[in-house]
Structure 1
């Protein structure tokens, strides 16, 4: 910790890394990388190309948030598959005769599954290319792919390599970079998202008040790309509170099919409202249903537009209405990060290291990677 880093009870490095995101996004959105752009253009022009977005933990959820937007933008087959799934079951996910662009997300790139996944792809796919998005140029994944003819490595701004335990600016910078290189993101989007994140930062006192309720259980709901955001939000709360707050995520429609059983008087539900008017109607239905069951204060809604009066209040982020939900997720996640941080502080946790005894580490350790046998099993 440097002399300029806040004390742990004031948020530590984590609060700085959450707050720096608007500046990081502006930098990322303005970047010009012609060599990488040309590398990708030649690959994506292939009509038979398959794109796999992969990572572990929060890095996997980047793919979940980005996949649909990339599929629409590229008109290609795009799938989000976690490295943890590929490593354990490679033949379920890798198709030898299908040309594949593998996009790997890794804050450090030192997770055992990160290297194993790209190695398995090289072994099991006839025609494969790699795009590595990472925050650490000295990490194992970046080193393994730098200088390779079938690989491009793009490093995030140095300050995006979070020193705190939880991924915050590292996650959002990799998501925005992916949406810029392969999806719909532009420099103008980066500015709008940065302004929306600054709006969220201005709500810190309100978010801290919400955290002081110390609800025992947090449920996050979102559709499409926002379901990936809901999963990331649930993990962020679980990580920073060292598991003291139970979390759950789902889609608004899926939640009714059994999972709604988790609701009780000690639950806060966060609903991420979609920008698509059709999908938004399902968000409104679940908001009304849960507020009728548990009360208005049991639901926090994050939206790009005000809700109709009969559905209650929402935290409205300006300047984002009509954007793809994959882009909107960048601004929404800042709310989730602050809520997790302030809740952790209410529980007396050290946010930069919620597990001082080492039960969970910043980079996963203890994973054994087994070689494939000759028959692939």
Structure 2
């Protein structure tokens, strides 16, 4: 299935630009939805979270998988329990390896449309392989097949993001951040103060588009995104966003702050831009600061952007005020807006069409060409 892509001019006024800009308001609306459904969520999750051997698996494909990669380490740290991120693409290809232990399992599925073949197959394979599995589906499309399949099931709970988070542009922006925020609030509880701080930080980023434009005017040919802990998953999403919106015209790389030295550092040259997502955790932050200094020595001060919580300065660091105390998984929300804007402005610079970067259909919003093979009992 292929969703119909909107027609829009390049630059401000595109669907992609609107969906990036609306995110602070979407986050506030997402929090209200979670609060309104809190009693239902607690009734569904309470008995499961009371099981000492419960395994929580966060799954999705592409950007939806990266929601889980950001959320899992943050949730594990706060909840002190077993929470893993496994992409549907890995789970479907190797269900017996992914579900090698037949323990009580909560499969949390993230999906913008819910129509990707792997999204549907992952839940079906979990039901086939595991004796005790429940499903929490967090999706943007009430009409999607995943939502329809799980809407009336006793062992499933379907949670919808705000309607406008169901992105119509090619790249997932509002859908990514709203599903991530939904997952964090579902498991960690309502937190209006944090949501308000995140929305304000997101608005700070959106008000700094001139800074993004200046970065893009350097015309980097390679962009490296680095982060630690939950922010490693964010680095992966950021690299994908640039690839998608520019139709692969800019080479992108991602890694952890420590992992980058072990070979991937070879990508650095005088046309490289590096973006470091600095952790709020005092211990982890030391490694982010170390790689930031090393990168600046290698490719220059202006070629390295270090995003961090705290007051803004006039140097290469990009500070976001008001989010100094939030966990890194939450901090990913305003951080990723920078990556989204970098992708959008770069797309404009090279003359691409951000709403539909692949007009020939070589890459699609909902993946095509996937054959789901039956798993023999």
1:70, CA displacement in angstroms?
A: 1.3
Contact (CA 8 Å) 2:107, 2:136: kept in 1 or not? yes
Which of 355, 363, 366 is the aligned partner of 2:366? 363
Which of 70, 74, 87 is the aligned partner of 1:69? 74
Q: Which residue is 2:28 aligned to?
A: 26
Q: Distance in 1 between matches of 2:297 and 2:313?
A: 16
Measured on the aligned residues, the alpha-carbon RMSD in Å equals 1.6
Partner SS for 2:373:
coil
Q: Distance in 2 between matches of 1:362 and 1:342?
A: 20
Kindly indicate whether residue 255 of structure 2 is the aligned counterpart of residue 242 of structure 1.
Answer: no
Contact (CA 8 Å) 2:11, 2:17: kept in 1 or not? no
1:157-194 deviation per Cα after TM superposition (whole angstroms, max 9, x unaligned): 11000000000000100000000001366122111100
Which of 326, 329, 343 is the aligned partner of 2:346? 343
| Bigger Cα displacement from structure 2, 183-192 vs 5-14 | 5-14
Q: Which residue is 2:207 aligned to?
A: 202
Alpha carbons of 1:207 and 1:184: their partners in 2 closer, same or farther (altered >3 Å)? farther
TM-score by structure 1 length? Answer: 0.95
Which of 222, 228, 236 is the aligned partner of 1:231? 236
Please, which runs of 5 or more residues in structure 1 have no aligned partner?
none
Residues 106-255 of structure 1: pairs in structure 2 closer than 5 A? 106-183=111-188, 186-255=191-260
| Bigger Cα displacement from structure 2, 5-14 vs 322-331 | 5-14
1:74, CA displacement in angstroms?
A: 2.4
Q: Distance in 2 between matches of 1:184 and 1:38?
A: 13
Q: Which residue is 1:305 aligned to?
A: 310
Please, which runs of 5 or more residues in structure 2 have no aligned partner?
1-5
1:209, CA displacement in angstroms?
A: 1.7
Q: Which residue is 2:52 aligned to?
A: 47
Q: Which residue is 1:15 aligned to?
A: 17
Q: Which residue is 1:99 aligned to?
A: 104
Q: Which residue is 1:353 aligned to?
A: 356
Q: Which residue is 2:3 aligned to?
A: none
1:252, CA displacement in angstroms?
A: 1.1
Q: Paired residues, what number?
A: 369
Q: Distance in 2 between matches of 1:219 and 1:11?
A: 28
1:36, CA displacement in angstroms?
A: 2.1
Contact (CA 8 Å) 1:95, 1:125: kept in 2 or not? no
Q: Which runs of 4+ in 1 moved over 3 A?
A: 306-309
1:330-359 deviation per Cα after TM superposition (whole angstroms, max 9, x unaligned): 110011100111011111110000000001
Contact (CA 8 Å) 2:310, 2:322: kept in 1 or not? no
1:190-216 deviation per Cα after TM superposition (whole angstroms, max 9, x unaligned): 111000000000001110121122211
